[in-house]
Amino acid sequence: MKKSSINWTVKRLGNMIEKGQISFDYPIQRKGGQWDLLQKSLLIHSVASDYPLPSIYSIANKEMLGEGDKAKETLVYYILDGKQRLTNITDFLKDEYRLHEDTPSVMIDGNKYDIAEMLFSEMHEEVQDAILSFSLQNYKLDEATDEEIEDLFFRLNNGTPLSKQQKA
């Protein structure tokens, strides 16, 4: 198995998801919607505060995207680990949820911003910019066998075994 490191800003990530260049449909991936509102809100606080986040892991495949004359071969990243983080960040960018009332304020360049109970679109421009420019590290895996991917997924998820359905 070979790995390479790629950094994506949150803004680029959102664009890639919109264009179909990121997929959460890898067979081993667990279903979304696992986090409660406070967990999602603390993630957004971490991003706005520039706290480090765990890396994302993906496998990239070349696929044809688009239709007819506009179809072109594009690299599509299948997310192995990081689905909850990525979907919660992008859902927040689309104003799909308000932050929890207990979300702490953020400090950016010495200025304090209250963000509790806000949608992304309601935030101060400085906070929006901090979120959009946040860099996520992605490890792209190449030449990995199914067994290596399953083992990596097992290790990344704290040893939580895969269900029979997920293994299938």
pLDDT tens for 45-67 read: 999 999 999 999 999 888 888 78
What is the 8-class DSSP label of residue 40?
H
| Mean pLDDT computed over 20-39 | 81
List Cβ neighbours of 53 (8 Å cut-off, separation of 6 or more).
43, 46, 47, 85, 136
**Is the pLDDT score of 28 beyond 70?**
no
The pLDDT value given to residue 29: 58
Beta-sheet strand order (sheet of 22-23): 2-9, 135-142, 56-65, 72-81, 22-23
d(CA 118, CA 157): 30
